[in-house]
Structure 1
């Protein structure tokens, strides 16, 4: 996906998140994140938006912690979130493609990294907000879901800090089933970080499959895997050990 497409996702998904949070109320429970209420979701995502925008706008070239979470609540907290989200979108749109700043996953450029990362950050938490509100979730584009799966498999879980490890070598297949847009990844598990390859490069011990959107959310532990065949313990291992540590 192009940088401009990721920025559009950040813009749209943030607006949907704010709308769902306002409709749910800041005291509502978040079923997809059982330890959170909507106020926790807004404070976290609003802080991350400001944290990301600061790296870009201030050309920060080394890691810094995020800011403090606000004590705001109710309508004031929703408005605080909207302000930070709008500032992030404006910063992404105004930044030249050759900007030099810190990033923590491979990408064609720091701006490409931050646009993609915040598109996924905002989408996952939009899903959280809509789970608190209830009702039908907003749709997700197949191409974006595939791109997000790749960020997770080739980015986050290629890092040393990934906890998705197996005492015995095993192969997990991830397969999307959207008509005409099927994609397959082979994830080799061991006592080292997972190694992901495009396509069917080895026999699988377990396969998880479904639409790209459903698989995206399942890999982020927001939904159960749509379909599991083979050794279900590997699917359970993913759910147990895949929570992400940022930075």
Structure 2
């Protein structure tokens, strides 16, 4: 998958949603946030990750120190600022090298890791905006499946989220995709593939992705302890 092309497309669709929206609209799936705050978060996030790459930042970057980190006050200027974010990230990647290790909140990763992370920030926050505005949301199955795998990998690398001996099997029904997530002592590990789990959940890629990121839960088949399904997603929230 071309993550940069997908990021540019998701960024554009996010902007289209907010073009004529009331910026003071509350975002229920991001408690305490308005669309104005969500908009700034997405636009600044692309520049934040770009600056981490271009400046070879070590140890994180204060969002207040992001260059051009605030949108202009006028609508058209703000949208141009939003849509410019992926280009800034693309330029930073080209200058630094996609395979160059840089800081991430999970430890050193190749710079291109940030593109995939920013892509799925955009897919999730586009859902936040759509739901806040009562608008329909759709996500291509292959992109949703990529989001599932990116979420699994990010969460597994961040902290233990399953007790030792517990295994979760996820399975998409509209595109190929199966993952096994295992709780081990002090860590969570995963691999693609089929197997028997303590809990199995299957459904369309979009539905499974939105459930994993705690945005919407519908259309899923759950086999096993539903309390485990709920508690695991809460422990994995980020």
Match of 1:153 in 2: 152
Evaluate the alpha carbon distance shift between residue 164 and residue 77 of structure 1 in structure 2; reply closer, same or farther with a 3 A threshold: farther
| Alpha-carbon distance in 2 for matches of 1:241, 1:82 | 37
* Structure 1 residues 83-130: Cα deviation after superposition (integer angstroms, max 9, x where no partner): 1441432441561435553234589831x2111111111111111111
TM-score normalised to structure 1 length: 0.80
| Alpha-carbon distance in 1 for matches of 2:171, 2:155 | 17
Match of 2:131 in 1: 131
Asked if 1:47 corresponds to 2:44, the answer is yes
Match of 2:177 in 1: 183
Where 1:64 maps in the other structure, the secondary structure is coil
* Structure 1 residues 179-214: Cα deviation after superposition (integer angstroms, max 9, x where no partner): xx332111113553322122123x222111111121
Match of 1:89 in 2: 87
Question: Do 1:173 and 1:184's aligned partners in 2 also have CA atoms closer than 8 Å?
Answer: yes
Question: Do 2:18 and 2:129's aligned partners in 1 also have CA atoms closer than 8 Å?
Answer: yes
Asked if 1:213 corresponds to 2:212, the answer is no
Equivalent residue for 1:7, pick from 4, 8, 19: 4
Where 1:26 maps in the other structure, the secondary structure is coil
Question: Do 1:173 and 1:204's aligned partners in 2 also have CA atoms closer than 8 Å?
Answer: yes
Deviation at 1:233, TM superposition (A): 1.3
Evaluate the alpha carbon distance shift between residue 63 and residue 108 of structure 1 in structure 2; reply closer, same or farther with a 3 A threshold: closer
Question: Do 2:161 and 2:236's aligned partners in 1 also have CA atoms closer than 8 Å?
Answer: yes
Question: Do 1:7 and 1:93's aligned partners in 2 also have CA atoms closer than 8 Å?
Answer: no
Where 2:47 maps in the other structure, the secondary structure is helix
Question: Do 1:164 and 1:237's aligned partners in 2 also have CA atoms closer than 8 Å?
Answer: no
| Alpha-carbon distance in 2 for matches of 1:91, 1:74 | 19
Evaluate the alpha carbon distance shift between residue 76 and residue 236 of structure 1 in structure 2; reply closer, same or farther with a 3 A threshold: same
| Alpha-carbon distance in 2 for matches of 1:157, 1:132 | 26
Match of 2:25 in 1: 28
Question: Do 2:212 and 2:233's aligned partners in 1 also have CA atoms closer than 8 Å?
Answer: yes
| Alpha-carbon distance in 1 for matches of 2:106, 2:161 | 17
Match of 1:204 in 2: 197
Match of 1:227 in 2: 221
**What runs of 5+ residues in structure 1 fail to find an aligned partner?**
none
Match of 1:239 in 2: 233
Where 2:44 maps in the other structure, the secondary structure is helix
| Alpha-carbon distance in 1 for matches of 2:168, 2:87 | 36
Deviates more, 1:56-65 or 1:29-38: 56-65
TM-score normalised to structure 2 length: 0.83
